[in-house]
Amino acid sequence: MKMHNIALNNIRRRKAKMAFLVAGMVIGIATIVVLYTVTGAMEQEIADKFDQIGSNMTIVPRTEALSTSYEGISASDVAGGVRLMTMDDVARIGTIKNKENIAVVSPKLLETLPVDGKQMPVMGVRFEDELKMKSWWKLDGRAPENPDEVLLGFRAAERLGKKPGDAVDINGAAHRVSGIIRETGSQEDSVVLAGLSSLQKISGKAQAVSFIEVAALCYTCPIEEITAQISEKLPGTKVSAIREVVQARQDFVDRFSQLGISVSFIVLVIGSLVVLTTMMSAVNERTREIGIFRAIGFRKSHVIGIILMEAGFISIIGGLLGYLAGMAGARVAAPVIAKMEVAVPWDIQTGLMAMGVAVIMGLAAGLFPAFRAAQQDPVEALRFI
Amino acid sequence: MDLINVDNVTKVFKGGEGSVTALGGVSFKVPEGDFVALMGPSGSGKSTLLTMLGAMNPPTSGSVIIDGIDVYSLTAEKRADFRSEYLGFVFQQFQLIPYLTAMENVMLPLAITGKSNREQARMAKEVLEKVGLGGKEGRLPNQMSGGEQERVAIARAIVNEPPILFADEPTGALDSKNSEEIMNLFKYLNREGQTIIMVTHNQEFLAHVKRTIFIRDGVLDRSRHPDSRIAV
């Protein structure tokens, strides 16, 4: 028989007490796993949501006269610019070091052209990219599928008196309205959206691009670095990161993390105290037994070893069950807490972390009772006659 | 050579209301192979003396020398090692570990010796057979009678083959039949060369032991020591 046999036998044959101890640990670890997992999943979801909000960088040609604000952009500003970017510039964005982080590159050409005889802003876009970036757009009708199809902003449609399916003339070229963007309250409402290459042809500006919007789809994107890398590739341009969006996203994520960490810490302390008290009372109940160990020649270190081994074994069981219970709990709790669809994947790293935390918690809580046990005077413990 | 040499040991407990002398200068010697009964009324100091002989209770003054070793010159941890090597204990009320089987209880003192599990099992089985418990190795204490538990306790005390066996009221919790059997077991062990020191209240057993040390009020009761072999 070795020391661990004594510890294991005690656990095996005092099932009720040990079950109580394990239960305490399971609750603690499960709570931490739930918080950690839900927070992690929420961080990801929030990050994704923010990424979906739209571009977080705009690229415009570097000219004195040009306004860089998309909301404030006017066709004449852009059209009157000294020079435009080209499709080659667009392609170069895909060659930066952090290209993996870039989700959508949406080049645009902005012109003022006669539409059914009325001078109106017409924006050429690659519909596939633009619709990916503006995922919140709601269309009456459908997205354009052919080069001669256009989308109308809500106000532009009103002004032109058009509905989906109607024909529309842009600078002498016949087009068809495939859909109308419902009111967004922004610049898009009064714009006619045509295919980029089609507009380039109509306006006689082949390959020309007025500005580019870029969305970096990642959750802790090094936006500053990406901005610098694009600037380097496109020397004649001005790349602006939309700081507010980035900052707000970061703040949101950080606050969730902090909440998770604080609550986990509190649960950890409470859990440790529960284990400590239970271990303490278990040690007190075993006073005579420890006295016998000492009387027959067990050193203090042997007694400490036995108690810590028990704490360790219970912690491993508690950690494992706590992880499983926590994952199950997270799957139920995550959508309720986050108020959104949250994916909770099985994660071996979280499992190992749960076990690690449980063992550290168990050993830390077992240390004091173990030393108390070892300090017991065998004579007092046995109380002869 | 004497196996045990107790030289003028005293034990004074200091409490809130002055000090109490539990032992007031006790000296005696025990040769190897002896079977000694330690007798005296409650509070006479015999339990203090037994724990002192058992290397668990340092005297206020005097010395306890066992096999030439001044026990209380050792550190507490070295004394634990000494107990493991030299002493076997049969405690009052058996004091078996409830969650360990008879076999495991007997193997307990071997757990710290570094012997292999196989060797431990062989030794434990052998000693359980010696005390008449062959075939009951797998039973838990609560599945055994008082007499059987006492035998497990004795087996545990001698499995390490210690030079000295201490027994504290070994028959206190047993009926007369079982008590008699246990006394016979002790006599058998003594005949095989085991030195035994036993605390008992039971006058009937005095006939079984080789010598008796009477103690009263913390000193040896000379009036009850007709036997000149006791060095007092």
Beta strands in A182-255 (DSSP E): 192-195, 208-209, 211-216, 237-241
User: For testing the chain A interface, which of B83, B96, B142, B166 should be mutated: the one with the most A CBs within 10 Å?
Assistant: B83
Q: Which residue does chain A place closest to B84, by CA atoms?
A: A297
Per-residue pLDDT band at B231 (split at 50, 70, 90)? very low
Element (H, E) at A326: helix A300-338
The alpha carbon dihedral of B214, B216, B218, B222 has a sign of negative
β-sheet bridge partners, residue A125 = A108, A195
A16 touches chain B (CB under 8 A): no
Query: How far does A363 lie from chain B, in Å, by closest CA?
Result: 22
Mean pLDDT of the A275-299 span: 88
pLDDT at A49: 62
Q: Are the Cβ atoms of B91 and A379 closer than 8 angstroms? A: no
Q: List CB contacts (< 8 A) between B56 and chain A.
A: 294-295, 377-379
Q: Is the pLDDT of residue B70 over 80?
A: yes
Kindly report the average pLDDT of chain A as a whole number: 83
Q: Is the pLDDT of residue A67 over 70?
A: no
pLDDT at B85: 94
Q: Are the Cβ atoms of B111 and A384 closer than 8 angstroms? A: no
β-sheet bridge partners, residue A213 = A58, A106
In angstroms, the Cα distances linking A230 to A51, A207, B198 are 19, 19, 93
What is the interface size between A and B, counted as CB pairs within 8 Å? 90
Beta strands in A126-203 (DSSP E): 139-141, 149-152, 167-170, 173-181, 192-195
Q: Are the Cβ atoms of B112 and A302 closer than 8 angstroms? A: yes
Q: Is the pLDDT of residue B219 over 60?
A: yes
Rounded CA gap, B110 and B106, in Å? 8
pLDDT tens-digit profile of A229-245?
898 988 888 888 775 56
pLDDT tens-digit profile of A182-199?
998 888 899 999 999 999
pTM more than 0.80: no
B173 touches chain A (CB under 8 A): no
Mean pLDDT of the A250-264 span: 78
- The upper half-sphere exposure of residue A69, i.e. CA atoms within 13 Å in the direction of its Cβ, equals 4
Per-residue pLDDT band at B61 (split at 50, 70, 90)? very high
A76 Cβ neighbours under 8 A, 6+ residues apart: A112
Q: Is the pLDDT of residue B65 over 70?
A: yes
pLDDT at A39: 77
Q: Are the Cβ atoms of A288 and B95 closer than 8 angstroms? A: yes
Q: Is the pLDDT of residue A6 over 70?
A: yes
pLDDT at A69: 46
Out of A6, A296, A299, the one facing B77 most closely (by C-beta) is: A299
Q: List CB contacts (< 8 A) between A294 and chain B.
A: 56, 80
Exposure class string for B200-229: b at 16+ Cβ within 10 A, else e? bebeebeebbbbbbbbbebbbbeeebeeee
pLDDT tens-digit profile of A49-58?
665 555 578 8
Q: Are A170 and A115 in contact, with CB atoms under 8 Å apart?
A: yes
DSSP A94: T
pLDDT tens-digit profile of A125-178?
999 999 888 878 899 999 999 989 999 999 999 999 999 999 999 999 999 999
Kindly report the average pLDDT of chain B as a whole number: 90
Q: Are the Cβ atoms of A13 and B99 closer than 8 angstroms? A: yes
Structure tokens of A350?
A: 């979280």
pLDDT tens-digit profile of A91-100?
999 899 888 8
| Single-letter residue type at A250 | Q
**Environment class of residue A65 by beta-carbon count within 10 Å: exposed (0-12), middle (13-18) or buried (19+)?**
exposed
Q: List CB contacts (< 8 A) between B155 and chain A.
A: none
Rounded CA gap, A322 and A361, in Å? 13
Structural domain spans, chain A: 3-48+249-382, 56-241
* Residue from A102, A100, A122 nearest A111 by CA: A122
* Residue from B97, B203, B70 nearest A293 by CA: B97
Q: Are the Cβ atoms of B100 and A9 closer than 8 angstroms? A: yes
